[in-house]
Amino acid sequence: MFDWFMNPEGPMVLVVILIKIIALVMPLMLGVAYLTFAERKVIAYLHVRVGPNRVGPRGWLQPIADALKLVMKELLVPSAANRYLFMLGPVMAIAPALTAWAVVPVGEGMVIADINAGLLFLLAMTSMGVYGIIVAGWASNSKYAFLSAMRAGAQMISYEIAMGFALVGVLMAAGSLNLSQIVMAQQGSILHWFWLPLLPLFLVYFISGVAETNRSPFDVAEGESEIVAGFHVEYSGMAFAVFFLAEYANMILIATLTALLFAGGWLSPFQGIPVLEGLFAWVPGTIWLLLKVCVFLFCFLWFRATFPRYRYDQIMRLGWKVFIPVTIVWIFVEGAAVLAGLGPWFD
């Protein structure tokens, strides 16, 4: 055990991994901060309002002000709450949301842990996220929070199945569970990306992702008009901010995964087009990925400003009676296509 510390390579590896983690988490946190700003601005413009424009030039410092406010606020623990679990709740929400990023490549070879079973790991981590909500809802010892925990738990388990089946389709098409290899399997042109051969799975995956992150129109777990704010109704200050961070980090994660699995990840959309390919060859892959992620994140915000909230039984019907059959049917179709070697995707 001690020769590991004596060996200069041992601790160095740890230091390199730590630097990689910081290099990923810092932009992610900044992304979360400005995603909240983008959300308020985008929804404001969709409502024909202006949105936040007071703090800093054109409101650009608004998220910093919000963060400061949350840090300064007092942390309240309800006297009837279960103290330990009440404090553990936010931690259990954010830990899986950040852990999942370990296997997500943000460019060619730019990944913290390039593991073979990356897709499985992601599925396992996203399924852990529900614990934070359930534990927080129960430990708050409040009717609203408990109702929300029940709703969130049932909803997330239901949509996880559809999500898992959609991922089965992806791994059948790519022949690998490694996320980098899945992206490389989509090489060719924009028509080679998996969104086209797996169109139903792509839609099911993205919509299930919206449901998994408890975003509108599937936000019955928060439902301001019914159960105030749901599982985080008793939380204040930083404890609330951690839930907020977890929700938005999960949104960015789902958007990134959709981009990686169905929209070619860091591959250029102009690949295979004679003139444009050369013209845009200088753009680094990470920029393309970032642009795609932004498109999907915009969809999250757009949905929120467009759709009314689903009723609880409608959510369950959509998950169990529509999405799961659709994914199963498409997996069979895909299996036939793989067997027939249908070009240009499955040959």
Q: Please give the residue ranges that form the binding site for other proteins (CB under 8 A).
A: 1, 4, 10, 82, 85, 115-117, 120-121, 123-124, 127-128, 130-131, 134-135, 138, 146, 149-150, 153-154, 156-157, 160, 177, 313-314, 317
Residue 53 to residues 30, 57, 61, 254, 269: CA-CA distances in angstroms? 19, 7, 9, 29, 35
Minimal distance in Å, beta carbon 17 to other proteins? 14
In this complex, which beta carbon is closest to other proteins, that of residue 72 or of residue 80? 80
**Could you give the CA distance from residue 338 to residue 347 in angstroms, rounded to a whole number?**
7
Minimal distance in Å, beta carbon 120 to other proteins? 5
Count of positions (residues) in the chain: 347
Contact 152, 138 (CB under 8 A): no
Paired tokens of 304: 């929120």
Residue 250 to residues 39, 93, 129, 255, 297: CA-CA distances in angstroms? 15, 10, 9, 9, 11
Strands (E), 2-152: none
Secondary structure of residue 346 in the 3-state scheme: coil
In this complex, which beta carbon is closest to other proteins, that of residue 154 or of residue 229? 154
Minimal distance in Å, beta carbon 104 to other proteins? 16
In this complex, which beta carbon is closest to other proteins, that of residue 32 or of residue 185? 185
In this complex, which beta carbon is closest to other proteins, that of residue 67 or of residue 233? 233
Element (DSSP H or E) covering residue 165: helix 143-174
The dihedral region occupied by 163, where left means phi > 0, alpha psi between -120 and 50, and beta the remainder, is alpha
In this complex, which beta carbon is closest to other proteins, that of residue 125 or of residue 255? 125
Minimal distance in Å, beta carbon 68 to other proteins? 33
Residue position matching structure tokens 């924009």: 190
In this complex, which beta carbon is closest to other proteins, that of residue 45 or of residue 84? 84
265-286 per-residue burial string, b: 16 or more CB within 10 A, e: under 16: bbbbbbbeeeeeeeeeeeeebe
Minimal distance in Å, beta carbon 256 to other proteins? 20
Radius of gyration for the chain, computed over Cα atoms and rounded to the nearest angstrom: 21
Minimal distance in Å, beta carbon 82 to other proteins? 8
In this complex, which beta carbon is closest to other proteins, that of residue 1 or of residue 80? 1
Minimal distance in Å, beta carbon 101 to other proteins? 16
Minimal distance in Å, beta carbon 227 to other proteins? 16
Concatenated DSSP letters for 229-282? TGGGTT--HHHHHHHHHHHHHHHHHHHHHHHHHHS-TTS-TTTT-HHHHHHTTT
Distant-in-sequence, close-in-space partners of 48: CB < 8 Å, separation ≥ 6: none
In this complex, which beta carbon is closest to other proteins, that of residue 61 or of residue 115? 115
